Structure 1
Amino acid sequence: MMQGVRIDLISEERLAQMASMEKIRLILDNVREGTIVILESGLTPDEQSVLIEMTMQEILPDGFSGIEIETYPSKQRGTSVFSRFIRGDDESRRLTVIGPANQLKMIRKDRGLISAWISGR
């Protein structure tokens, strides 16, 4: 049997077809199995908050250790109050990396790069 770490890359198109709770459940179920999940378009701030809340409820002392999550914001066309009002939420996200806290450690993040250390179980 092949040893290693499973990584699921989920497209923006697939995420757009899912309700918020479907996305969160998909992420949590996969991460609980030890999978690293990479979302092309990320989660909304509200979805990310719910994901963290649900994760906290599922942590077990000798089992699921929680999640590590890192994302970087998409390019902002303008940051004035007026431009945010016209466009709506300017906190849209892109590329998000999520994995088991005991396997995934973020090393570095800047505007265009997320570096992570992934260990086997």
Structure 2
Amino acid sequence: MDLISEEKLENMTSMEKIRLILDKVKTGKIVVLESGLTPDEEVRLIEMTMTEIRVDEFSGIEIESYPSKKGGSFLDRIFGKGLKGRMTVIGPANQIHTIEKDEFQIRTKVSVGD
């Protein structure tokens, strides 16, 4: 499991973050981001994952984030502008399964190897 600090992520472009995450998850690692991704970054991560799925090699990702804290203007909240999850857990779809999630806790089941 790799825990990645907010400081490391804030100096990276969106594509650098996505590539870092995908490269780690494709090797079987679970990635925990101290500060989550923006909604746009999550969409890009999912899009890139879909293009890289290979049935026998890479089954995709499971991604869960704590909901973002309330803040920003009404329009910012509607359009998700500037908001990002507080923490994000990402792992191989065949190894991590979300059981329960609320604003305070993400409960997952992790299986090693399939």
Q: Same fold (TM over 0.5)?
A: yes
The one-letter amino acid of 1:119's match is S
What TM-score do the two structures reach when normalised by structure 1?
Answer: 0.84
Report the AA paired with residue 57 of structure 1: T
TM-superposed CA distance for 1:81, in Å, is 2.3
Q: Structure 2 residue aligned with 1:74, among 68, 77, 87? A: 68
**Alpha-carbon offset, residue 52 of structure 1:** 0.2
**1:63 shift after superposition:** 1.2
Cα distance in 1 for residues equivalent to 2:84 and 2:28:
27
Residue 26 in structure 1 maps to residue 20 in structure 2: yes
Two-structure CA RMSD over aligned residues (Å): 1.8
Amino acid at match of 2:19: R
Runs of 4+ in 1 over 6 A off after TM superposition: none
Report the AA paired with residue 16 of structure 2.
E
Whole-Å separation in 2 of the counterparts to 1:63 and 1:112 = 34
- Note the C-alpha offset of 1:96: 0.3
What is the count of residue pairs matched by the alignment?
111
Corresponding letter in the other structure for 1:52: I
More strand by share: 1
Query: 2:36 matched to 1:45?
Result: no
Partner of 2:95: 103
- The 3-state SS of whatever aligns with 1:69 is strand
**Aligned residues: percent identity?**
61
Paired residues for 1:75-94 under 5 Å: 75-77=69-71, 81=74, 84=76, 89=81, 91-94=83-86
Unaligned runs of 5+ in 1: 1-6
Structure 2 residues without counterparts, runs of 5 or longer: none
Amino acid of the structure 1 residue aligned with 2:107: S
What TM-score, normalized to structure 2? 0.89
SS at match of 1:94: coil
- Give the aligned partner of residue 54 of structure 2: 60
Q: Matched residues in 2 for 1:90 and 1:46: separation?
A: 10
The alpha-carbon deviation at position 90 of structure 1 amounts to 5.9
Bigger radius of gyration? 1
